[in-house]
Chain A
Amino acid sequence: MTETALSNPPPPPAKPGTLEIRNISKAFPNVQALTDVSLDIRPGEILAFMGENGAGKSTLLKIINGDYQPDTGALSMNGQPLSFSGPHVAHKAGIRVIYQEPEIIPGVDVAENIWVGELPKRFGLLDRTHLNEQVQNSLKEYGFESALPMHLLGDELSSAQRQLVEIMRALKSGVRVLALDEPTSSLTDDEVERLFALVRRLRDEGVAIIYVSHRIKEILRLCDRVAILRDGNLIAVKSASELNDAEIVRLMVGRELSSVFQRRRAGTDREILRVENLKSNWHDDVSFRINAGEVVGFAGLVGAGRTELAKVIFGDLPKNSGRVILDGNDVNIHRPDEAIAKGIGFAPEDRKREGLVLIRSVLENASMAILKQLSRFHFVNSRLERSVISKFVEKLRVRTPSLEQEVGKLSGGNQQKVVLARWLAAKPKVLILDEPTRGIDVGAKAEIYRLIDELANEGLGIMLISSELPEILGLSDRIYVMQNGRINGELDGPTATEEAVLGLAIKDHFAANPKAAAASI
């Protein structure tokens, strides 16, 4: 069938309609994104792409969609080589990649957004009756009538609805290969179920489906085969029935992760931070303590007031009343620089927006909190700065070509490590970590967990805010559970269970909708 040279044994002839990916490589400056990837994407099958951030999934999707051209290798279907100079060429060939944020025209309704570019005309004018009829029928056919009201304008649509519009566009133009990039990340449980039903139905109609997701449970439920990428190489393609959670993680990371949450409890009795009866615009009488060498988890639903609590303590938000006692002394902090001077560090949840100056270097970002100590008569001692910062950059194994590298060009995990390097250099007594592993890959997560453990052992008091329950349970010596600006209860870390934490987190409105609450934690 194809002329491609392949190693023995020769593969069975591909089913008609199979998208054959052969020996694809793609490099970017400093990065080999894909190395010699060969894969069949078969009609009537759901194939998952899995891998850490940076493993090459996005690049592969973009090559399939015609956004990028491969350096070497080729795509073909039914023996015909495919060459896409851009996404519209791929669309014509029946290949569609649905990204997380599809392009939607804001001021135009759903029907027109779906038919954009091919609107039905009558006497040179838009034939709205025909258009609405068509869209109505197809929405009804796939069961999205209520999920995607036709009269809504583009800018009124949720992320989920935007994805639906993009899927409907694909279906309208007769899709043969449909790729979904992390489609469920912004969907509710109900929407996920409906999406799954649609995906299964399309598979049964003979569409080849690529499904990209980090959610292992979802993949195992939905997909037929799983392709795992690591560092630009295709590591394995296995039938989903042969795989389980642990096996997938092992293949993705390249090593066992059983020791991810190893915490050598080392908390002391010396109190390093005590907050008494703190009241603010967000908080109603909050009291807690953190000992030196202790990791104290703060659990709760989104909006429980945990981030705000961190910011009040750090002086970035005002407090109305209450005492903050740091290492035995009453402190009155009004600004972040005062907090830092007194020995508090804070790594915020949104590192791109609040943590880093993306267009400046690793060095400048990491030394930002200790510039005063590095300066004499306001002149920065750059030799001292380099030696101090490079020590922490090495300790944290930040993967960067140099200290001069723009932070915005590093991966998420490495960006987070730069934030942590900043606070290690500042040598605080208390370190507040707000969602320290959000959006970073499994490997970097494990390194950050190990670091948290190490810091606590060195005597730091760590306030760990996280919405990932396994993280809170695995790392914390004690856990405070917050809701509506109050602390609902305190749990012992080693013995706490997910149920116990959840119970405290939704104590007030347990009856309301426990399932939704559980999903959003």
Chain B
Amino acid sequence: MSEKQTKQPTSPAKGGDEFKRFIGFIGTDNLSLIFALVLLVFLITIVSGWFGMDGGDKFFSWQNLMNSLAQAVVIVGLIAIGETVVIIAGGLDISVGSIASIGSVVAASVLVGVGTIGSLNFLTGNVVIAVLAGIIAGMIAGAINGIIVTTLRVNPTIATLGTLAAFAGFAFLLAPEGKPVGVMTQPDFTWLAQGRFLEDTAIPALGGAKWTGIPVLTVILVVVAIFVHILMSYTDFGRAIYAIGGNATAARLAGINLSRVKILMYMLSGGIAGLSGVLLAARTTSGNPINGTGLELQAITAVFLGGAATSGGKGTIVGTFLAVFLVGILNNGMNLLGFNTFVQRVALGLLLIAAVAISQWRQSQAERSRTRIANAG
């Protein structure tokens, strides 16, 4: 049952059966995630209706779902997608939250022309340049992670724990006097997080009712997810990531340049985290050095919930994508049902442990079936 997923980057099963092909794309493992998603939505609806809370109808409305996506899911989702790549390669990047903070401050200060970076007066006011600056700052931070892990041979958990602290401090150093950079006066920039495509379009099928449209954030998440999915499934880089996570020594002896792939991988993870920071700045209308704090926990939870193996070599972008929704809807549902944030934190912590426990159990099952077949054959 857990095998379908591992074959996923190779071509889908023969037979041409559309349904089978679809299942093949999603992965058998991920079906359980979809099931959990449906169950969760169903439960929240029932429970909220049952106890007469006023969240019941609200939750199920399309608008609410869109809100939930835009607010809770996208930022964590982006970071989780980058984190998936690192975890598949058998590494870990805890510094992503701090990298997001850096991206947030850099983009805002370039846009407004303040602080250490902004005072360079480099194309101040240009949104594209500001976004790129945030992403590049994240990639540089990622490259630093990569070099520490490969050249200095520091264990990735320790290395990124160190940079988690260092980058968090650095985000403050970049901000003018350590204070947030306001971007309220930049509507083109805040549109990234608050705008919608196809807003107010009349839908003839619904008797000309106005549609609320698709949030720009959601579109960005989907585009990045598809980009990384393609990278992992169809490129030599993706192959190298799976191989390194499965057996780094064998990958090296088969001619994969471990250092190069790992540095690129941390740059990818850092770049995506930088982008998340930019979007955070757009959403909160400020380039705040604490913007990204704590994001790594949710992201890592989603990756393991999405079926990635703690030992590396296994995991998919599709799985992470689904798990992010699960975490997001869970948070959103708990909000609607009136649980306070402390309870939510407890739930999130337990969820991370549960996700990893399930992942370990799956690995031991796979191991068992492997040895059983080896003994029989």
Contacts and interface: CB of A to CB of B under 8 A. Distances in A.
Nearest to A347: B253
Interface stretch (B33-41, B173-181, B184-192, B238-246): B238-246
Contact of B373 (A28, A62, A314, A346): A28
Contact of B237 (A337, A346, A378): A378
A386 B14 CA distance: 14
B3 A356 contact: no
Contacts of B377: 28, 30-31, 33, 54, 410-411
B273 to A, nearest CB: 23
A379 B253 contact: no
Given A337-B256, A359-B366, A404-B7, 10 more contacts: A28-B377, A54-B377, A336-B255, A337-B257, A353-B249, A357-B313, A359-B314, A363-B10, A380-B236, A382-B234
A54 B376 CA distance: 6
A180 to B, nearest CB: 17
B251 A335 contact: no
A375 interface: yes
Where chain B touches its partner, the secondary structure class is helix
A356 B247 contact: yes
- Of the four ranges (under 10, 10 to 19, 20 to 34, 35 or more), the interface on chain A belongs to 35 or more
A375 B250 contact: no
26 contacts: A28-B373, A30-B377, A62-B375, A337-B256, A340-B254, A340-B255, A348-B253, A353-B247, A353-B249, A354-B253, A356-B250, A357-B242, A357-B246, A360-B242, A360-B246, A361-B7, A364-B10, A364-B243, A369-B255, A372-B236, A378-B236, A379-B234, A380-B239, A409-B374, A410-B377, A411-B374
A409 B370 contact: yes
B145 to A, nearest CB: 22
A29 B246 CA distance: 24
Contacts of B373: 28-31, 409
A365 B256 CA distance: 12
B6 interface: yes
B372 interface: yes
Interface string A330-341: 000001110111
Nearest to A422: B254
A357 B247 contact: yes
A380 B250 CA distance: 20
A9 B376 CA distance: 32
A28 B6 contact: no
Contacts of A340: 254-255
Interface of B: 3, 6-7, 9-11, 234-237, 239-240, 242-243, 246-247, 249-257, 313-314, 366, 369-370, 372-377
B253 A336 contact: yes
Contacts of A62: 375
A371 interface: yes
Contacts of A379: 234-236
Most buried by B among A355, A382, A409: A409
Contacts of B235: 375, 378-380
B263 to A, nearest CB: 14
B376 A361 contact: no
A275 interface: no
B236 A316 contact: no
A406 B370 contact: yes
Nearest to A67: B375
A358 interface: yes
A370 to B, nearest CB: 8
Contact of A361 (B10, B252, B372, B375): B10
A359 B236 contact: no
